[in-house]
Amino acid sequence: MHVIVNAAMSVDGKLSTRHREQVAISGAEDFDRVDALRADSDAVMVGVGTVLADDPSLTVDDRERIDARTERGDPPQPARVIADSRLRTPTDATVYDDAAETILLASDTATDQALTEARTKGATVVTAGEDRVDLSVAFDRLETHGIEQVMVEGGGELVFSLFEAGLVDELSVFVGSIMIGGRDAPTLSDGDGFTDRFPQLRLRDIERIDDGALLRYHVSGR
């Protein structure tokens, strides 16, 4: 499995406000780059915190990119994958529309009622882990669904867990020229944080996009 984390942050490293309200950090050019990255992926993944905060669609917008996917034999849209241990995705969430396949990664804590509800809404549920989703096991299961490249859009809790598990191959981060602030505002990597064995990244390139900078890294390990 090849895992690319892509996110947009303010110059002070925040993904959104302390109210967890979405902020347009990217400009038009960066959003278009994100659309292309989605189109090149088998799946687009977020944590349920992002679904609850943003209600994203996680789909490819550009018609030509959708057509190119079907021409090469892929589904028109990448699958949407949500790390959602207890299956808290609201039944009226946009990810339950029929625009793309939706796969919920749950843990043993999900109730039978929640499993039935998610499946009734049309989602595929993959269970891995006792408390939180065991991301390594879940990714192995996704590979059996034919998912080889995953683009992860956030949020900070999920990104931290993926780095902690050593599952990230590449990181792209757009740094927008905006200051958000707030000690409780989500950052690119939240969770418990590292105190040693910090993930090591290698800067691949820097590009000026919109009024910000796109930084691309290879992740070399912990």
Ligand X SMILES: NC(=O)C1=CN([C@@H]2O[C@H](COP(=O)(O)OP(=O)(O)OC[C@H]3O[C@@H](n4cnc5c(N)ncnc54)[C@H](O)[C@@H]3O)[C@@H](O)[C@H]2O)C=CC1
- String marking each residue 130-159 x if it binds ligand LIKH6CAM according to CB under 6 A: -----------------------xx-----
Q: What 3-state DSSP class applies to 217?
A: strand
Look-up of token digits 């028109």 = 76
**From CA 38, how far away is CA 45, in angstroms rounded?**
10
> Closest CB to ligand X among 104 and 147?
104
Q: Contact between 5 and ligand LIKH6CAM (CB under 6 A)?
A: no
Q: Which does 34 bind (CB under 5 to 8 A by kind): ligand X, ligand LIKH6CAM, none?
A: ligand LIKH6CAM
Q: Which does 186 bind (CB under 5 to 8 A by kind): ligand X, ligand LIKH6CAM, none?
A: ligand X
Rg (CA), the chain: 17
Backbone angles phi, psi at 71, to 5 degrees: -60, -35
Q: Contact between 84 and ligand LIKH6CAM (CB under 6 A)?
A: no
Q: Are 85 and 114 in contact (CB under 8 A)?
A: no
**Shortest Cβ distance from residue 113 to ligand LIKH6CAM (Å)?**
27
Q: Which does 24 bind (CB under 5 to 8 A by kind): ligand X, ligand LIKH6CAM, none?
A: ligand LIKH6CAM
Q: What 3-state DSSP class applies to 107?
A: coil
Contact with ligand LIKH6CAM (CB under 6 A): which of 3, 4, 8, 114? 8
Q: Which two tokens stand for residue 55?
A: 């209600």
Q: Which does 85 bind (CB under 5 to 8 A by kind): ligand LIKH6CAM, ligand X, none?
A: ligand X
Contact with ligand LIKH6CAM (CB under 6 A): which of 10, 14, 49, 50? 50
**From CA 19, how far away is CA 71, in angstroms rounded?**
42
User: Which DSSP string do the residues of 123-171 spell out, in sequence order?
Assistant: -EEEE--SSS--HHHHHHHHHHTT--EEEEEE-HHHHHHHHHTT---EE
Could you say which residues in the range 159-188 bind ligand LIKH6CAM, by CB under 6 A? Answer: none
Q: Contact between 54 and ligand LIKH6CAM (CB under 6 A)?
A: yes
